[in-house]
Structure 1
Amino acid sequence: MRNAARRATERRYLMCPPTHFKVTYSINPWMDPAKPVDLPLALAQWEDLRDRYRDLGHTVEELEPHRELPDMVFAANGATVVEGRVLGARFAHSERTAEAAAHRAWFRANGYEDVYEPEHINEGEGDFAVTASWLLAGRGFRSSPLSHPEAQEFFGRPVIGLDLVDPRYYHLDTALCVLDDSTDTEVMYYPPAFSKGSQAVLARLFPDAIIAEEPDAAALGLNAVSDGRHVLLPQAAVGLFGPLRERGYEPIGMDLSELLKGGGSVKCCTQELR
């Protein structure tokens, strides 16, 4: 749908400040312990993102960071929330395992009654993307295929599995972004991140999708957050700004260059509380 009038809807997000962010291990191709992190800059960039959400009229809740968990800033990985039901995470790497319990504790302390601890590995909204009717679900690097039927059973909505084949795009949210979750049609994605079969599925489901080029995908331009009108994305993904505007969206470039050293950007820092 081109040149459509877009309407933002008020959102509620969970974020975690990068108070203890550092890169001392490598669990994805973006992480290099030899590259130092400028922590004050990382904090300033994160605060800019948080404040931008609030300026747009959204609510941002904050999760308390833990000193021994430097990747907690990537709050999207801690759970998936749909209609107030919380599917917790189970992390693939031991370095992040304890984050799952911290997220579940936050939800229980904040009035969520249906909080499920999964049996199978999933990394929250890293690999689950929510449309109006479906869950799009990544697999191949960090989430188990067995997490897909588990999520389908818990949420009672169809789960569409998508195979990731490029280790740079180790989570679904690095290769695909849902632009309008009031429909099942509006996404942008990078085809080479997916297997040939999954590319065919995406082409069938989303014939009018915005297709990202390699430079914008490599800038983690698809690690973006949309409220139905405003699309917050890495400012380096300049090739996506024009196509988004053509579809009636308002792109907002953000600088999260320090957090990119951990393999994440806008979406990785943002869990949506639906």
Structure 2
Amino acid sequence: MASEVLPQDFKIISSLRYDPALSTIGKRAAARTTPDPLTTPYYLLPYHQERLRNAAACFSWEKALAFLKQDTNQFVEFLNTFIPDNTKPWRLRILLDSTGTCEVEVNPTTSMNPLNYLTPTETNLQSTAWRVYIDSERISPSVFTTHKTTARDFYTAARLRSGIVSFVEPAEVLLINPAGEIMEGSITTPYFRRRDTTEGEGKPAWITPPLSSGGNAGTTRQYALAQGFCAEDTIAATDLVDGEECWLSNGVRGFIRGQIVLRGIDEPHA
């Protein structure tokens, strides 16, 4: 990424899911979530607002920050104007520029089990496991890896190097920093099991890379940490094992099972 020429007119973005099915699990989740991200049909909306505010502050975009001062109820009213049919699920992409102009792209998305929105449990294994590859190159951390923006060429390049050509493929690639640490996935936050739940001490069994490794401050990552599902810890790419099970998450698909695939870059893809 050091050789990349970043665009001057980039936007900060956040992708999330609109789903009326969220109301069916809101009450169950409310007792164990602060703040409760399931009180609206917009998945983890308070975390998306926080993510956008943090990015706008990082880039000193005062007009964008002024737009983002609205509370969650006001933001819901704003987003509602873009929903074509409130009985169906939709994928939203919020784009905000330095002038405070906000665009919302809305596309159809498939229905899914509402339990995917909650942090995983031993009995919540209904999703099909994605193939999870490791990038063959190293990515230098920057504000454009910490914050989600339209400057995403390095993510696209990592996906192509792993043979992932479509976002509908059940596949992900993990980005690695120059120190050899896992940063994040190209479109997800990863979680790896590094403790046994019987070890005690109240520590989560799962860990996710710390922001100091250079990855994105994702919304589902924040949710998983708040729920106590995981803790932060550095993860060396060399520590991953072929066939190892992991979890992935993002603001559109919720939590997804994954399985590490170690292979040479020239090997045929499944």
TM-score exceeds 0.5:
no
Q: Comparing both chains, which one has the higher relative contact order based on Cα–Cα distances under 8 Å and sequence gaps of 6 or more?
A: 1
Name the one with the larger helix percent. Answer: 1
> How does the TM-score come out when normalised to structure 1?
0.30
> How does the TM-score come out when normalised to structure 2?
0.30
